[in-house]
Amino acid sequence: MCGRFTLRSPVESIASLFDGLAMPEWKPRFNIAPTQPVACVRHRNGSTAVDLLRWGLVPSWAKDLGIGARMINARGETVASKPAFRNAFRTRRCLVLADGFYEWKKIGKQKYPFYITRPADRPFCMAGLWETWGPANQSVETCTIITTEANARLQPLHERMPVILGPDDYDFWLDTQFADETRYQELLRPVPENDLVMREVSQFVNKVANDSPACIEPEATLFD
In a domain, 65, yes or no: yes
Q: Please count the structural domains in the chain.
A: 1
Which residue among the candidates 40, 103, 125, 131 is catalytic per the annotation?
A: 103
- What's the pLDDT at 221? 60
CATH of the domain at 134: 3.90.1680.10
In a domain, 181, yes or no: yes
Contact yes or no for 217/203 (Cβ under 8 A): no
- Entry pTM: 0.95
Phi, psi dihedral angles at 65 (to 5 degrees):
-70, -15
With CA atoms as reference, report the closest residue to 161 among 171, 147, 174, 175.
147
In the chain, which stretches have pLDDT less than 50? 223-224
- What's the pLDDT at 193? 94
In a domain, 87, yes or no: yes
In a domain, 41, yes or no: yes
Contacts of 179 (CB under 8 A, 6+ apart): 90
In a domain, 224, yes or no: no
- Which DSSP symbol is given to 201? B
Rg (CA), the chain: 17
Q: From CA 217, how far away is CA 34, in angstroms rounded? A: 22
- Is 103 catalytic? The answer is yes
- What's the pLDDT at 179? 72
In a domain, 223, yes or no: no
In a domain, 174, yes or no: yes
With CA atoms as reference, report the closest residue to 27 among 39, 13, 16.
39
- Is 25 catalytic? The answer is no
In a domain, 221, yes or no: no
Supply the range of the domain harboring residue 56: 5-216
- What's the pLDDT at 178? 73
Listed as own residue / partner, the contacts of 35-41 with beta carbons closer than 8 Å and 24 or more positions apart are 35/68, 35/69, 38/7, 38/96, 38/97, 38/143, 39/7, 39/96, 39/97, 40/94, 40/95, 40/96, 40/97, 40/128, 40/130, 40/143, 41/94, 41/95, 41/97, 41/125, 41/170, 41/174
Q: From CA 159, how far away is CA 167, in angstroms rounded? A: 25
